Structure 1
């Protein structure tokens, strides 16, 4: 895999850091939207599979995450994050105006990706959501009902059955290990409602990947949101025993093969 490149764009609230895993003549462009509290650099393995599959890969660090500007994990309006994701897509499109664009969103990034598909119909060839925060995710409402948000970090073991994944996450200085913030929780609630009422993704084929032991974003809550978003075509892959980060799970080869196989089927049309 070619060495990653770093770009800096002007985002909605300051500097937006964008990672690029380049390809000189890609058959498609993949845009990655990472999850809450993490950063796009954690997707290097996914990017490696996608570049080997023929993609040029672009991934921003969202507002308040990674190397982008903003108070850590503070998002007051997810519409701004969707706008930033569009800026990263424009960067990719300037470099590669011809190939089709696919969007892969994980967890919070799945919510962002879903809203992107609603706001920019006709721009995507495929959409893939991994453990997406969509549908009935009750955590924000539960935390907002408390007088004080508890300082309970995500348990690394909830991410994957691979202990190395949790150890790397816990030691990563760009990962947020503190409490969730009330404005961000409110923004989650609003955006879940917006996506629920925003219509389906139209003709774009949708792939849903989820672990059935995902305790951070439980599968039953995501299902109604995914089914509302799916337009003409939905492909579902549920992995027994898998936790939240299916791209970094012990069966990651199977998951990534499902992703590239799905993309092969879409791109062959």
Structure 2
């Protein structure tokens, strides 16, 4: 059985709301989870439950301006400060479980945050999983910034998953942002993409890249250039045919989560050896 609890911490832009999921027994590893643009950690209950069943304790935070955290809605001016916030979550998590290996999981914009986090703090991590990550080349950024103002059009929820219930739940979720992109955030994304490309590879840190082949929001081709830059010598790639952007919410989500836990098993086995 998975238990969850909310807690708060001070972030660079105000009070942040974090969540911890844990099981009945002693965990064998710790997961640090970074969510995507416009969403919140509450959308990851099933992901956390699967990881807890596998032996993890999971910690995540609503990024500044997202979900239950403070800040102007979906406005991020500097992703380096968001990495700082996630590192503070990590620090508090390690206070509870100081001897556990830490696996970092990031989806979409959270994949961008996770990639930069791994470049800065990779020595403290046991493995990294990037799901549909916003790294490499994202042509939508330049297209949006070329417009005189951001289109006031919500995200098309049918691009998230082949399961129509996922889109309906997203559209009905009051903690999800249903407005336009913010120029400040898109400009910050461009700078963060450049920072990842200018940063180091992950070296011996195990990396799993998982992506939907039919992802229209973060196309797999643009991401590949970023992955090729950051990947080191221990690397696993999973591209799921016909899957859309949110592979953890796709019709083959069980397969995706099984692949993730298998990757974690191998990374932790090698680490112990």
Residue 202 (structure 1) shift: 2.1
Give the 5 Å matches for 1:39-50: 39-50=40-51
User: What's the counterpart of residue 154 of structure 2?
Assistant: 153
Residue 122 (structure 1) shift: 0.5
1:1-32 deviation line (CA, Å, top 9, x unaligned): 33210010011111011110024511000010
User: What's the counterpart of residue 135 of structure 1?
Assistant: 136
User: What's the counterpart of residue 9 of structure 1?
Assistant: 9
Give the 5 Å matches for 1:1-269: 1-23=1-23, 24-269=25-270
- Following the alignment from structure 2 to structure 1, what is the Cα–Cα distance between the partners of residues 2 and 113? 27
Residue 89 (structure 1) shift: 0.6
Runs of 4+ in 1 over 3 A off after TM superposition: none
RMSD over aligned CA atoms reads 0.8
- Following the alignment from structure 2 to structure 1, what is the Cα–Cα distance between the partners of residues 89 and 57? 13
Secondary structure of the 1:128 match is strand
Residue 121 (structure 1) shift: 2.7
Residue 268 (structure 1) shift: 1.1
Could you list the runs of 5+ residues in structure 2 that have no partner in the other structure?
Answer: none
- Following the alignment from structure 2 to structure 1, what is the Cα–Cα distance between the partners of residues 201 and 64? 26
Q: How many residues align?
A: 269
1:124-143 deviation line (CA, Å, top 9, x unaligned): 10000000000001111110
- Following the alignment from structure 2 to structure 1, what is the Cα–Cα distance between the partners of residues 136 and 29? 29
Secondary structure of the 1:120 match is helix
Secondary structure of the 1:121 match is helix
1:184-234 deviation line (CA, Å, top 9, x unaligned): 010000010000010111211000000100000000000010110101211
Secondary structure of the 2:32 match is strand
- Following the alignment from structure 1 to structure 2, what is the Cα–Cα distance between the partners of residues 257 and 266? 14
- Following the alignment from structure 1 to structure 2, what is the Cα–Cα distance between the partners of residues 247 and 238? 13
1:95-147 deviation line (CA, Å, top 9, x unaligned): 10011000000000000000001111301100000000000011111100000
TM-score (normalised: structure 2): 0.97
- Following the alignment from structure 2 to structure 1, what is the Cα–Cα distance between the partners of residues 3 and 27? 15
Secondary structure of the 2:27 match is coil
Could you list the runs of 5+ residues in structure 1 that have no partner in the other structure?
Answer: none
1:70-106 deviation line (CA, Å, top 9, x unaligned): 0000000001110000011111101100110000000
